[in-house]
Chains A and B, each alone.
Chain A
Amino acid sequence: MSADGHLLHNLMLFGRLLRELGLDVHSGRMIDAAGALRLVGVRRRSDFYHALRTVLVHRQQDIAPFDEAFQLFWRPPKSDWTTMDLRSLGEERRYRQPQFDPPPTASDPLGRQEGPDGGDKVEMTRTYSAREVLREKDFAEFTADEVDEARALIAELRWDLGRRRTRRWMPGAGPLIDLRRAIRKNMAVGGELLDLPRRQRKEKRRPLVLICDVSGSMERYTRILLHFIHTVFGDVGRIEAFLFATRLTRVTGYLKDRDIDRAVTEVAHAVPDWAGGTRIGDVLKAFNFHWARRVLGWGGVVLIISDGWDRGQPDMLRFEIARLQRGCHRLVWLNPLLGSPSYEPLSRGMQSALPFVDDFLPVHNLISLEGLAEHLNALPSRRPSRRQQTRLLARSASQEQQEAPEAVQRSWRLDANPSFRHPRWGGGRERQGS
């Protein structure tokens, strides 16, 4: 009896340990666990393990921490071993600190004193024209104060990625008669079908996937772009965010924090290769392999934010981005360098990616973000027609590039896609005075 009590006590401690490791182990689960052990018994260690695992773990990613905890917890104690050692558990699995300084967050002493609604205050005191200047200023030249102000302006933007017609029906003015409601309704008039309610397809917002470059060359933009991503998070329904330099890191979980400063700091700690070099091809490959099938369902829109400086293999980039484009509803590439009138996408990475991008837009100041919001809100419900075209382009581009790179460089503007929008000749720039 007392042995049983010991086991239960340890089981509770184990449950608490799992909770500290982030597993969703509530007390109902612990009752199940105790019940399970009674059924399976504790004679065989592997049975004991599987019984606990099947009851306490319900996500694949939780299996590894569970295993680690199990190994540590359920073993014969050494003489010099105390429960204190358990506290360090899970620490190793955390990502190491960024090797480079993360971009300064807006929580420097000055920003803190302003309080949470500091942005609003500034906005009111600033004059109209000052605000205009800010809208046109390149993100790279922003001071910490201006970042705060810009945040307030970004927060005013509305994001609506268009809607996708789902396969689900709901009452409405659609083409089909809702027989169930028709019969119920018309029972009141003796079953004569006088009033015919109809049904229509339900619509849902498209999911959004953000893949943002935080490599060295993007450093000046990273901070404000993280703010931008965080703002979009609050607005759009389903969203996934990834950061990359040499490796792809998923940061969706961190950005769900409502407090932006904390979220940004968390993200900075989570990304191991902050401000490293860029290997876009490898990164997209990792995305295609591990995430595309899980996050691109239901007609997602993908935003890649990068300057296109790539140190990887152009062939790989071309191959992987073509694949990514085939898998998503629309692929948008945002490039901060595109804000400069003299910029031409001649870098190797940009050259290989361009034929497979549906939209190529600047993201260097607030006006460009407004333009982006406007563009995304007006996305057509159909995919852009591109498949055949891009395949052909892929083949010819890779052949031509080996023979005569100049020819390709000159012809990039003639491509049907992307719908290239340059600040000088693109539409939507005229709204500056509004």
Chain B
Amino acid sequence: MKQTTTVPATVDELQQAMREQLYVADRGLAISIHLALSLKRPLLLEGEAGVGKTEVAKVLASSLDTDLIRLQCYEGLDVNHAVYEWNYARQLLEIRLLEASGGLDRGAAARDLFSEEFLIKRPLLRALEHDGGRPPVLLIDEVDRADEEFEGFLLEILSDFQVTIPEMGTIRSEEPPFVVITSNRTREVHDALKRRCLYYWIDYPDFQKEYQIVTTRIPGAPRKLSEEVTAFVQELRTAELYKVAGVAETLDWTAALVALDQTELDPSVIDDTLGIMLKYREDIESVRGEPVRAMLNRARNRGTRRGRARG
């Protein structure tokens, strides 16, 4: 059975496939994904929060029609939670059972207790052992939240696609999974890990692209509203803020405004719903009121200029 036929053969096909899953990918991003798939390398995606890094893996999994296995990173994430763990309760029970039946042979028991039956498979092992035909997409999310120790054992998995369980031996993956690693860059990921990956920096989208994203994801939104929202968010990103609103926030906001039956932006409604876009008190206070009006005006001016250019 040929499995490679499911991987889009060209960049254009990949872009189209992702588009069908409602993801608007840059040409650059599409090329990176295409290369990662073809060269069988992990893809490291960096970018600010809310630019759609995690979404790439999800969309990729559904457009390749395969499973998504997700590992959320956090400090202290260890082998027990990332790769495998023994089922201790069952092991203890088994010992009691063997004792009761009188058939406790130490050597055999040790072999039995550390067999696959008592193994709890965590995401990384599941990704390697996958035997459902097509290799899954493995998403290692927010790797910057994990500590250096975790990065250390990711190295073995990412370069050879194998893990070693002392009691059982080495488990090697027949067809390596497509690995997507994301990082918010709250710290620098170690160079050794980066060198094993292809790299793409996802930037905030420009007006055209963001507008496309909004209309693709929220087709029910009035056209004028989507346009104004996008232009306003673009304007908001130029303001000096601690935390800039990402695409995810734009989508949330548009959805909220649609739910509020808005057909266009209104300064007082913006003030009331700023909390969807900005998550720091200082940021909200610094733009609420007059700055919001100024930004809205600028956004509208840009909009009319764009309209004129188009018409």
Contact = CB atoms under 8 A, between A and B. Distances in A.
Contacts of A35: 39
Interface stretch (B25-33, B134-142, B252-260): B25-33
A195 interface: no
Contact of A55 (B35, B110, B186): B35
Contacts of A169: 76, 78
B91 interface: yes
Given A190-B106, A191-B104, A180 B86 contact: yes
Contact of A168 (B34, B75, B191): B75
Contacts of B11: 40, 47
A186 to B, nearest CB: 9
B151 to A, nearest CB: 13
Give chain B's interface secondary structure class.
helix
Contacts of A51: 31, 35
A40 B35 contact: yes
Nearest to B32: A54
A46 B11 CA distance: 12
Interface string B191-234: 10011011111000000000000000000000000000000000
B24 interface: no
A323 B283 CA distance: 13
Interface string B96-115: 00110000101001100100
B153 interface: no
Interface stretch (A69-77, A152-160, A287-295, A337-345): A287-295
Nearest to A26: B195
Contacts of B237: none
A145 interface: no
Interface string B110-122: 1001000000000
Interface string A28-64: 0000100110011000001101110111011110010
B92 interface: yes
Contacts of A58: 44, 194-195, 197-199
Contacts of A293: 186
A53 B203 CA distance: 14
A167 B76 contact: yes
A55 B91 CA distance: 47
A71 to B, nearest CB: 16
A36 B31 CA distance: 10
Interface of B: 11, 27-28, 31-32, 34-36, 38-39, 41, 44, 46, 74-76, 78, 80, 85-86, 88, 91-92, 95, 98-99, 104, 106, 109-110, 113, 147, 149, 185-188, 191, 194-195, 197-201, 240, 242, 282
Closest 10 CB pairs of A and B: A167-B76, A191-B95, A58-B199, A54-B32, A50-B28, A168-B76, A50-B31, A179-B88, A58-B194, A167-B75
Interface of A: 24, 26, 32, 35-36, 39-40, 46-47, 49-51, 53-55, 57-60, 63, 166-169, 179-180, 183, 187-188, 190-191, 193, 288-289, 293-295, 297-298, 323
